Amino acid sequence: MDLNAFFDTEFDEHAQVAAATREALKEPFGRLVGIAAESIRGGGKLLFFGNGGSAADCQHLATELTIRYKTDRAPIAAIALTTDTSALTAGGNDLGFDEIFARQVAALAKPGDLAIGISTSGESENIIRGLAQARDMGVTAAGFGGKGGGRMAGFADPYLVVPSETTARIQEMHITLGQMLCGALESELGLI
């Protein structure tokens, strides 16, 4: 293996996907920031959910909001539905893995909140059901996806679909967009 070529190829692909994401997602990103700010101003919260690496992104973003992103400031209400192992395992065992996020959304969300599902493929059934549950409750359902959007396209709006088929590149853009959301919210809410 030529590690130098591998290194350069990975960075080249990252840069290409970053440029395409920048071009494609400015409008839905702006809408997401506006909806999130409106939710927080109205006493709502952001609920993040995803699987695997996307679950880790959910935890990361909820922490950036509740603790701090750029500066010490008032907390922003956010929760990752991926962190309660008892809820995840009981839900998976008793209701089936496809229901784990829908059940938590049903228990914890209220109108005025913002549910954000994250899936690199846009095809994760438990993410789709969580978004559908949110919509059924009058909760705004948004998402981060990739690989053309998948079935999540019918359930998330705004829906930030990274223009790539490569999971690693999609995940890189998801965390970039998520951190941009945190920074934009701090500014939009006048907290920095």
* CATH code for position 174: 3.40.50.10490
As averages over each run of 10 residues, the pLDDT of the chain (192 residues) reads: 96 98 98 98 98 98 96 94 96 97 98 98 98 98 98 98 98 98 94 80
User: What is the C-alpha to C-alpha distance for residues 101 and 112, in angstroms, rounded to an integer?
Assistant: 18
pLDDT the model gives residue 192: 75
Which stretches within the chain are classed as H helix?
3-24, 26-41, 53-66, 85-94, 100-108, 125-136, 167-188
pTM, entire model: 0.97
Structural domain that includes position 32: 3-188
pLDDT of 191 reads: 84
The tally of domains found in the chain comes to 1
Q: What are phi and psi of 176, to 5 degrees?
A: -65, -50
